[in-house]
Amino acid sequence: MIIDSLKNSVRVESLSPYFKQAFDYLKSLDFSKLETRKTELNGDVLFVMVNDTNLKTKDAAKLEVHNKYIDIQMPISHAESFGWKDRVQCKSLNAPFNEEKDIEFYDDVPTTYFTLQPGEFVIFFPEDGHAPCVGEGTIRKIIVKVKN
């Protein structure tokens, strides 16, 4: 997992052949005018989703993991909290891996929580169990899916 500010993205762009394209795209956006949608930047290798999502309590937010994709997540409208736990420590499987959606859920309790402000991002790799969307109300956020 990596947490940083969008203005510092150059520090992590070399970690994937697609990160620079993803961050260049994010930096080109006017977040005040952004509408919900899915945008393919490179087919199924790199795409961006802008979603309005209802936030949840810590207890209701399930840890999730992905095999095929790395997530870059950014809150747009206001702060968002996340839970995190090392995937190898996740033992309480909630549902089997869904190949089509590239997701598996766990009932384990995260070992840490953190909060991002608009303009900050988190990168979740396949080894990162993460419980997004913790908070109150509704949030507009960006999720970039990068083929692993």
pLDDT tens per residue, range 52-109: 999 999 999 999 999 999 999 999 999 999 999 999 999 999 988 999 999 999 999 9
Three-state DSSP at 111 gives: coil
User: What's the longest Cα–Cα distance across the chain?
Assistant: 41
pLDDT value, residue 72: 98
Domain borders along the chain are 2-147
Place of tokens 């080109």: 28
Give how far Cα 107 sits from Cα of 40, 91, 94, 129, Å.
Answer: 32, 8, 6, 11
CATH 3.10.450.50 given to domain 2-147: no
Report whether pLDDT(119) > 90. Answer: yes
Encode pLDDT of 15-53 as tens digits: 999 999 999 999 999 999 999 999 999 999 999 999 999
pLDDT of residue 95: 86
C-alpha distances in angstroms, 36 versus 17, 40, 94, 114, 139?
A: 26, 13, 29, 25, 11
For residue range 120-147, list pLDDT tens digits in order.
999 999 999 999 999 999 999 999 999 9
Give the number of other Cβ atoms within 10 Å of residue 49's Cβ: 13
**Beta carbons within 10 angstroms of residue 106's beta carbon:** 21
